[in-house]
Structure formats: C-alpha cells, structure tokens
C-alpha cells in the first residue's frame, strides 16, 4: 500500500512539473508568434549556441575582453547574401562581429581590430 501511494505521489509530481514546464514554453512560443517577447526557449537556444561557438581568442586586446561581454546575438547579414553573423557587445559600448560559420572577425568598433579587417584609413574619400 505504501509503495503505491509513493508511486502515485511521484506521478502527480512529474505531471505537475512537466505541465508547468510545458505551460511556460508554450506561452513563450505563443508570445514570439504574436511578435511579442523573444521567448525563453529562444534565449536558451541562443545561449547554448553562444557557448558552443565561443571564440576564446576574440578578446585579444584589453578592450572588449571576455569578462566585459554584456550580450551576444545572432544577426541577419544583409551584406552577405542573407547569411548570419554573431555580434558580441561589450560593457564599454563596443562590439565585434564574427562570421557564424567560420568564427572569423568580420566587423568591429575597436580601432585595434581595423587592421585585421583590412581597414587602413577611416576616410572613404
């Protein structure tokens, strides 16, 4: 009798936790579909993607070091036939952009990165 009560309690607990989990994710998915908040599921998926694609050599200088990162996001690259890039934003307001496929630095607001990008002079005249 005791074991069947424990099993019943365990089943009820699993159903409650699973139901709460499903409710939160379904609510977030509905919000995203309605153009609302970005959603917990997408935030978790982006965080996993950031961890798996993080580039430890990206913080090679003092500015924009790894500990100063405030956000990372995957963005649409309209200049590259619809590809995507990873943009890292730092506490000092600067950013770096990396090719999502290769991890190569493709854009930066830092002066010390401009040489790596092939920019010799900020003057386009």
pTM of the model: 0.43
- pLDDT, tens digit, for every residue of 7-52? 989 999 898 888 877 777 676 666 555 555 555 556 666 666 665 5
- pLDDT, tens digit, for every residue of 62-116? 455 556 889 888 888 777 677 788 999 999 989 999 888 888 888 899 988 888 8
At 25, give phi and psi (nearest 5°). Answer: -70, -40
Contact criterion met (CB below 8 Å) for 83 and 100: yes
DSSP state, 62? S
Q: Give the three-state DSSP class for 103.
A: coil
């Amino acid at each position: 009798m005791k074991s069947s009560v424990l099993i019943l309690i365990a089943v009820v607990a699993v159903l409650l936790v699973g139901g709460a989990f499903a409710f939160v994710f379904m609510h977030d998915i509905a919000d995203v579909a309605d153009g609302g908040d970005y959603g917990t599921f997408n935030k978790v998926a982006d965080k996993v993607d950031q961890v798996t694609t993080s580039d430890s050599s990206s913080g090679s200088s003092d500015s924009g070091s790894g500990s100063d990162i405030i956000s990372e996001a995957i963005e649409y690259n309209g200049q590259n036939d619809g590809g995507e890039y990873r943009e890292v934003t730092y506490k000092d307001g600067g950013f770096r952009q990396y090719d999502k496929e290769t991890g190569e630095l493709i854009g930066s607001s830092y002066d010390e990165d401009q040489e790596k990008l092939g920019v010799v002079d900020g003057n386009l005249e």
